[in-house]
Amino acid sequence: MSPTLAALRHVFYRPWLLASLAALASAGLLLFASVGVILHQARESESERMNARGERFLQRLEQVFGQLREGVDQLQGQPLRGCDAYMLSALQQVGLSSRFIYEASYVDGNVACSNRVGEHLVHSLRPPDIQGPTYSYWLNTTTEPDDNLAALMLGRGKFRVSTSRGHLADVVDLPPGGSLLVVLDRGGRAIPVLGPAQPWPPQAQWLSPDTSLLEPTDRLVYRMPTNSPDYQLALIVPRASMPLKMHGMLWLLFPGSLLLASCIGWLVLQLIRQRHSMSAELQGALRRGELQVLYQPIFELESRRCVGAEALVRWRRHDGTLTSPELFIPLAENTGQIRQITDFVLQRVLEQLGQLLRSNRHLYISVNLAACDVMVPRIGVVAARLLALHHVCPNQIAFEVTERGLIDVVVARDNLQALRSVGHQVLIDDFGTGYCSLAYLQTLPVDCLKIDKAFIDALGHDAASSGVAPHIIRMAHALQLRVIAEGIEYEDQAELLNSEGVNYGQGWLFAHPLSARQFSELITRGRRMGARRFGDEA
């Protein structure tokens, strides 16, 4: 490991620092997520409120226009013309019989009269905002905040009927600065029905038919479709009130997020302390001799003759309990203790089986290498010293590397070649589960491929990976590499693999992992072990 990486690990591998960073990161993430959720909920709530306002206004508008049409049709259908007492009576009758008709009037040039006698409510009008074949519509005849002034007017012939502003304002609780507008000319013009005039158009997206809610920085614009192609309705409200509600919700979430972040930091602290504790326990296990080495025999499939074994490290605590290698090996790789474990395994193999290896030159023991030892030439020096001490040939010690351990293929190739040049065999373990491409495999100094147990289990089944093992076998043969099948548990698997050209295998069909004494007995007796005999004792 480079000095820079070592320094960084020393700085950051501190429980309180990592726990604080985890707490701060989770607090920021939680607050960020909370704000996002609040903003989304606020938009949804605002949209629902605006939709409810729009629906109420549309319903009232339909009621108002319905009565205005009935009233003007009734006046248009009578023979009365002029502003005499009969006309005034008819106008008053229409106003009294309809809830939403505030004013009914007759206008013929300079002659005009209204049911609102003496109030002078009839004024000269601008051209209608909507000119239909039968009716003319004036959408806003006044912008004064007076509920007793006409807001909508409908005309037919010489008659006009209108509703007051109050008949519309009582169903829509517009906030200050809010407006209800009728949009004409395909979005090009908007006339306020309630509230002040607004800048128009609000933004270019208004022309998009898929946009119902627009959110400029200072206001919300809600589109309300109508059944008429001539106009649409728009509700515009300021956004000044929204941040106040948001702040209240954020203040409620702030202590909750801090509390949850503190819990996360505490959990991280406990995990790191546990990790440190296990790391210290592992260091103590190395000193106390709690680690032991077992041997998984490797057999020739045709003759069922044992040709070697894979060295496996196990941690049996002083109370007899076993700690899974899947737990302490990754920890040792992260803390750098894996180097001590590798040296311990290599030394124990030669101490326990040195005599057996010297007496059986065809035997070999394979030792697993971690990525840190693949990337540096250290292990070659250690192996050379131990082999010279125990007078064992280098070709009787093989080294297994995983595809995942080949972080830098170029560097790994040089170091593996150095091991191979002095006589060590090099095996690729768990082949097919990593990312070693065929192009790299052709350049690596490798003697053997070991097929992962997952692909052996898939043989003979309709699994998606059932064809992987035969493919690896053919590829290995093309590269003139030996093949070892891992995890063989059934006789039909062994027979199938042998028929495919696999010469070697290991697994519970032949033997469980054995102690050094059991493995020595297996070799000296020269017979195949039963599937359970030694495994149960180990």
Nearest to 209 by CA among 193, 184, 230, 186: 186
Interatomic CA distance for residues 501 and 321, integer angstroms:
41
Stretch 510-538: mean pLDDT, rounded?
Answer: 71
Comparison of pLDDT for 496 and 169, the residue scoring more: 496
* Confidence at 308, pLDDT banded by 50, 70, 90: very high
* Mean pLDDT over the full length of the chain: 77
Interatomic CA distance for residues 245 and 258, integer angstroms:
21
Interatomic CA distance for residues 173 and 187, integer angstroms:
25
Predicted pLDDT at 483 = 93
Lowest mean pLDDT among 61-65, 275-279, 327-331, 473-477: 275-279
Phi, psi of 306 (to 5 degrees): -75, 125
SS3 content of the chain, % helix, strand, coil (to 5): 50, 20, 30
Stretch 81-109: mean pLDDT, rounded?
Answer: 87
The yes-or-no verdict on residue 445 having pLDDT over 70 is: yes
* Confidence at 249, pLDDT banded by 50, 70, 90: low
Predicted pLDDT at 243 = 47
Q: How far is Cα of residue 525 from the mean position of the Cα atoms in its chain?
A: 58
- Domain spans of the chain, in order of start: 18-165+244-287, 174-240, 289-441+504-537
The yes-or-no verdict on residue 368 having pLDDT over 70 is: yes
Q: Does the N-terminal peptide bond of residue 201 adopt cis geometry, omega within 30 degrees of 0?
A: yes
Strand order in the sheet with 189-194: 189-194, 179-184, 232-238, 219-224, 213-214
The yes-or-no verdict on residue 278 having pLDDT over 50 is: yes
Comparison of pLDDT for 49 and 348, the residue scoring more: 348
Predicted pLDDT at 312 = 94
CATH architecture group of domain 289-441+504-537? Alpha-Beta Barrel (3.20)
Stretch 403-415: mean pLDDT, rounded?
Answer: 81
Lowest mean pLDDT among 252-256, 387-391, 474-478: 252-256
Lowest mean pLDDT among 127-141, 415-429, 474-488, 493-507: 127-141
Strands 179-184 and 448-451: unpaired
* Confidence at 437, pLDDT banded by 50, 70, 90: low
Interatomic CA distance for residues 504 and 302, integer angstroms:
8
Predicted pLDDT at 537 = 41
Predicted pLDDT at 152 = 81
Predicted pLDDT at 226 = 72
Stretch 212-232: mean pLDDT, rounded?
Answer: 72
The yes-or-no verdict on residue 353 having pLDDT over 60 is: yes
Nearest to 60 by CA among 186, 165, 161, 189: 165
Percent of the chain scored above 90 by pLDDT?
A: 24
Contact by Cβ (8 Å): 56, 62:
no
- DSSP state at residue 212: -
Stretch 253-276: mean pLDDT, rounded?
Answer: 59
Tens-digit pLDDT profile for residues 161-217 = 888 877 777 776 677 777 778 887 777 778 777 777 777 777 655 555 555 667 666
The yes-or-no verdict on residue 14 having pLDDT over 60 is: no
Stretch 28-43: mean pLDDT, rounded?
Answer: 67
Contacts of 119 (CB under 8 A, 6+ apart): none
Predicted pLDDT at 299 = 95
* Confidence at 231, pLDDT banded by 50, 70, 90: confident
Predicted pLDDT at 387 = 95
Stretch 353-369: mean pLDDT, rounded?
Answer: 94
Predicted pLDDT at 22 = 59
The yes-or-no verdict on residue 2 having pLDDT over 60 is: no
* Confidence at 124, pLDDT banded by 50, 70, 90: low
What pTM, to 2 d.p., does this model score? Answer: 0.52
Q: How far is Cα of residue 517 from the mean position of the Cα atoms in its chain?
A: 52
Helical residues (DSSP H) of 227-370, grouped into ranges: 242-288, 325-335, 338-359
| Number of other CB atoms surrounding residue 152 within 10 Å | 25
Stretch 40-54: mean pLDDT, rounded?
Answer: 71
The yes-or-no verdict on residue 508 having pLDDT over 70 is: yes
